[in-house]
């Protein structure tokens, strides 16, 4: 019986097909599993036919319905794996197929495809242009170096014409995949050795010796990063019927290398810009760790309840709903975990209060003690010094470093301030209430006494955790190999937390990894959004150095973000309604549209106007499941970790971002002032990077100064 394999180029077209066409694809595919090779060739319905003047003699098309044809690579070497590469409208199928050539990469031994006709046509033209060019992108690498990385003769000739990175990217869709990727890495400044390690070695089978008789089946088996092989009928049904989540199967080698490394001898850190697949890598790491021992217990944490719910769903998808595996993983937020520890080991858990109530309490205490400091200052001192360092006595407070705080406090002032801390804590205790962070501090102490409850801990969205929360996490697993796997992006810090992981006993030295390819957004969205952060520098995840988005890129292309000012808020909201109607008319499902604002007030207005126009709307904070219809509305904070095909960020006005009330005045504390401003800026960055295909940013009156030039005038 022949076997069937799917190239990732197929999924992109399959996902966009209408239901009846998909059913046609399934039916056609099933035949490949039922018929013998001669029967396949003879089957009238399938109508497997060769493509005239095809550059690759193995190209065939099959009938899906009157309008659609599948493009198949058929083995001609006696092996029996057929590769389904695309689904294309009838008239285009032959031209598409005729131009493509599949070859084996000499270094990775994987199957790659190129648009051979286009490369032939373009190269002479580009050679002419290149002879005039000031400099060329790959001059510093010899032919031998490039050949060792798998670059073949035709590509080499093309490579010698490439002037700069944009030209390389433009060429990208024509070039064989592995070769293109090796070139991209070189263009990013990686050394040939690094490229060999990260792109070639990870794919190359260990026993790969040049074998001229290698069959198509063998080469397909080498190409796990781009091709899925389907063996049985159930597997076929399964793969074609489930919503296709590419990330379940096609990890980028840089992702795979991190997620499936057998073991690490301590905490691991994975960073990368928005949409680079950090969460995906975290999920695959869970899968790997589960497979290593039959009784390991894993804790997977994230920042919000909504994200925890999504993580649970994704994990179930990745583990095929296998309860024996899922039952060994707890997915929760750090705060919820702390709460559980307190109820399990410390008796009744306190009622938790929010920031506003906390400030009110500090205000009362400050007044009662006649202190000159504002309630903000007291709350920040408590958060960034007392809780951050787990300080419990005046002596400890006297000796404490106040690094990161912008105003000095003399010994006398500390003595004056400390009674406020004591009163605050007493007041919480007597009323059986607590702040989230103080509850975490308590949970960390309890954990230290009872000992860790898990073997491995995976932490997603790590950039916003406070030292008190890190102490809880540190206590949840024993120190040692594969204890902590930490993913996060310091560019997305939107809460006021600063940590030094090293000082919390979490050393990731020698175990840091960075992801650079964005799988979520188009390059246009990414470039524009990155502009928001251009003027600032960002402290890295561990709190010791700085981080950057160098080399961060997307392979997706689309429209440039729409950036628009309006005369009034009312006009802005009306424009929003029209835009959403347009998107829906274009076939975008309401649940694939996200709308966000800095404040709930504007969000409520948008809610009303959209509902009045008959558009279904739901609020993200109500945790609508994926099956619930309706445009998603959220504040920028609640957008963390989510993604939508179309995103409208509205109300990006001068007075909303930065929001003055959330920014500590410079004269109260300069460092806090700067960090508050940065946090507001990151908030806009987070909001904009939720968009997959379309981003629309708007304001009324004057725009926020965070909106990158030239839109901002």
Residue ranges that bind ligand ATP, judged by CB under 6 A: 246-247, 250-252, 255, 272, 274-280, 489, 492, 519-520, 641, 643, 689
CB of 519 to ligand ATP, least distance (A): 3
Closer of 114 and 514 to ligand ATP (Cβ):
514
Q: Which is nearer to ligand ATP, 247 or 528 (CB)?
A: 247
Distances (CA, A) of 131 to 126, 135, 136, 161, 217: 9, 9, 9, 8, 42
Residue among 282, 632, 619, 638 nearest 494 (CA): 638
* Cα-Cα end-to-end distance for the chain: 66
In the complex with ligand ATP, the residue whose CB is nearer, 418 or 519, is 519
Q: Do the annotations mark residue 274 as ligand-binding? A: yes
Residue 301 belongs to what H/E stretch? strand 298-302
Alpha helices (H) in 477-522, listed in sequence order = none
Q: What is the DSSP string of 38-62?
A: HHHHH-TTT--EE-TT-SSTTEEEE
Count of Cβ atoms closer than 10 Å to residue 8 Cβ: 17
Cis peptide before 689 (omega within 30 of 0): no
Rounded least distance, CB 203 to ligand ATP, Å:
14
Given CA atoms 461, 463, 469, 475 in this order, what sign does their dihedral have? positive
**Residue 269: which of 543, 512, 515, 538 has the closest Cα?**
512
CB of 515 to ligand ATP, least distance (A): 7
CB 200 within 8 A of CB 106: no
Query: For ligand ATP, which is the closer residue by CB, 255 or 672?
Result: 255
What is the phi/psi pair of residue 104, to 5°?
A: -95, 130
To the question of whether residue 273 is assigned a binding role by annotation, the answer is: yes
Kindly state the smallest distance separating residue 493's Cβ from ligand ATP, in Å: 11
Token pair 């709460």: residue: 339
Minimum CB distance to ligand ATP, residue 276 (Å) = 4
Nearer to ligand ATP, 243 or 294 (CB): 243
CA distance 192 to 517: 19
DSSP H or E run through 606: helix 600-612
| 275 annotated as ligand-binding | yes
> 620: closest CA among 279, 309, 273?
309
Sign of CA dihedral 7, 10, 11, 12: positive
Distance of closest approach, residue 591 Cβ to ligand ATP, in angstroms? 15
What would the DSSP string read from start to end of 94-126? Answer: HHHHHHEEEEE-TTT--EEEEEHHHHHHHHHHH
Q: Minimum distance between the CB of residue 682 and ligand ATP, rounded to whole angstroms?
A: 12
Minimum CB separation of residue 177 from ligand ATP in Å reads: 13
Q: Least separation, in Å, of the C-beta of 253 and ligand ATP?
A: 9
Question: 43 CB contacts (<8 Å, ≥6 apart)?
Answer: 31, 35
Closest CB to ligand ATP among 100 and 516? Answer: 516
Nearer to ligand ATP, 41 or 242 (CB): 242
Q: DSSP letter string over 61-80?
A: EEESSSSEEEEEEPP-SS--
| Residue 188: CB minimum distance to ligand ATP, A | 18
Which residue, 5, 467, 515, is CA-closest to 223?
A: 5
CB of 513 or CB of 653, closer to ligand ATP: 513
362 vs 552, which CB is nearer to ligand ATP?
Answer: 552
Rounded Cα distance between 59 and 85, Å, is: 10
CA-closest candidate to residue 232, choices 403, 33, 528, 406: 33
Of 466 and 520, the one with the shorter C-beta distance to ligand ATP is 520
* Residue 61 annotated in ligand binding: no
Of 247 and 706, CB closest to ligand ATP: 247
10 Å Cβ neighbour count for 23? 14
Question: SS3 of 202, please?
Answer: coil
**Smallest distance from the beta carbon of 393 to ligand ATP, in angstroms?**
39
- CB nearer to ligand ATP: give 250 or 659: 250
Counted residue by residue, the chain has a size of 713
Q: Which residue in this structure is represented by tokens 């890598």?
A: 281
What's the closest the beta carbon of residue 492 comes to ligand ATP, in angstroms? 6
Q: Is 562 annotated as a binding residue?
A: no
20 labelled binding-site residue: no
Is residue 543 within 8 A of residue 709, CB to CB? The reply is no
Pair 71, 97: CB distance under 8 Å:
yes
Contact (CB, 8 A) for 56 and 71: no
Q: Give the angle subtended at the CA of 176 by the CAs of 174 and 179, to the nearest 5°.
A: 120
Binding-site residue ranges for ATP: 272-279
Binding site membership: which residues? 272-279
């Amino acid at each position: 019986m022949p076997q069937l394999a799917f190239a990732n180029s197929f999924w992109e077209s399959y996902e966009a097909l209408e239901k009846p066409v998909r059913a046609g694809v399934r039916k056609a595919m099933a035949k490949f599993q039922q018929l013998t090779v001669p029967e396949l060739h003879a089957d009238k319905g399938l109508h497997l036919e060769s493509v005239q003047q095809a550059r690759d003699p193995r190209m065939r098309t099959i009938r899906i319905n009157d309008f659609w044809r599948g493009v198949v690579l058929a083995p001609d070497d006696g092996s029996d794996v057929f590769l389904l590469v695309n689904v294309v409208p009838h008239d285009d199928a032959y031209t598409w197929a005729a131009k493509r050539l599949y070859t084996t990469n000499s270094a990775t031994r994987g199957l790659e495809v190129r648009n051979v006709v286009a490369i032939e046509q373009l190269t002479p033209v580009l050679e002419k242009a290149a002879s005039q060019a000031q400099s060329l992108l790959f001059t510093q690498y010899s032919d031998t170096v490039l050949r060792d990385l798998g670059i073949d003769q035709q590509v080499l000739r093309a490579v010698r014409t490439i002037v700069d990175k944009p030209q390389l990217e433009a060429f990208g869709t024509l070039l064989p995949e592995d070769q293109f990727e090796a070139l991209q890495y070189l263009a990013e400044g990686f050394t040939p050795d690094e490229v060999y390690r990260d792109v070639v070695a990870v794919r190359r089978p260990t026993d790969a010796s040049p074998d001229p008789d290698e069959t198509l089946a063998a080469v397909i088996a080498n190409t796990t990063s781009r091709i899925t092989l389907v063996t049985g009928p159930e597997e076929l049904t399964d793969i074609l019927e489930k919503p296709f989540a590419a990330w379940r199967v096609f990890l980028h080698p840089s992702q795979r290398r991190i997620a499936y490394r057998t073991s690490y001898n301590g905490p691991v850190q994975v960073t990368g810009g928005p949409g680079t697949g950090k969460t995906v890598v975290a999920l695959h790491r869970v899968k790997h760790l589960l497979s290593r021992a039959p009784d390991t217990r894993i804790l997977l944490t994230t920042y919000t309840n909504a994200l925890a719910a999504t993580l649970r769903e994704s994990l179930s998808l990745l583990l095929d709903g296998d309860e024996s595996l899922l039952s060994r993983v707890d997915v929760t937020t750090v705060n919820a975990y702390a709460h559980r520890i307190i109820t399990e080991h410390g008796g009744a858990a306190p009622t938790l209060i929010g920031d506003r109530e906390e400030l009110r309490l500090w205000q009362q205490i400050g007044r009662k003690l006649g202190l000159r400091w504002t309630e903000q200052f007291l709350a920040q001192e408590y958060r960034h010094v007392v809780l951050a360092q787990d300080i419990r006595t005046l002596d400890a407070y006297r000796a404490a470093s106040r690094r990161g705080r912008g105003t000095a406090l003399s010994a006398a002032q500390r003595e004056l301030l400390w009674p406020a801390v004591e009163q605050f804590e007493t007041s919480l205790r007597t009323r059986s209430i607590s702040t989230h962070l103080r509850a975490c501090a308590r949970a960390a102490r309890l954990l230290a006494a009872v000992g860790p409850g898990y073997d491995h801990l995976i932490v997603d969205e790590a950039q916003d955790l406070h030292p008190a929360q890190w102490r809880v996490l540190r206590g949840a697993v024993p120190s040692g190999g594969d204890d902590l796997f930490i993913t996060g992006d310091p560019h997305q810090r939107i809460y006021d937390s600063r940590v030094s992981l090293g000082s919390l006993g979490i050393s990731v030295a020698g175990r840091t990894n960075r992801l650079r390819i964005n799988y979520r957004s188009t390059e246009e969205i990414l470039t524009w959004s990155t502009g928001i952060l251009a003027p600032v520098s960002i402290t890295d995840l561990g709190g010791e150095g700085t981080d950057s988005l160098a080399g961060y890129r997307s392979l997706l292309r689309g429209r440039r973000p729409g950036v628009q000012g309006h005369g009034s808020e009312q006009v802005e909201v009306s424009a929003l309604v029209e835009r959403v109607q347009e998107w829906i008319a274009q076939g975008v499902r309401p649940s694939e549209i996200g709308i966000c604002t800095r404040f709930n007030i504007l969000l409520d207005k948008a809610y009303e106007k959209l509902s009045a126009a008959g558009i279904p709307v739901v609020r993200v904070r109500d945790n609508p499941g994926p099956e619930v219809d309706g445009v998603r509305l959220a504040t920028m904070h609640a957008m963390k970790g989510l993604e939508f095909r179309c995103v409208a960020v509205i109300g990006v006005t001068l007075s909303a971002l930065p929001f003055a009330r959330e920014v500590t005045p410079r004269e109260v504390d300069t460092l806090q002032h700067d960090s508050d401003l940065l946090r507001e800026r990151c908030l806009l960055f987070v909001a904009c990077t939720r968009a997959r295909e379309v981003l629309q940013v708007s304001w009324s009156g004057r725009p926020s100064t965070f909106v990158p030039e030239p839109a901002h005038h």
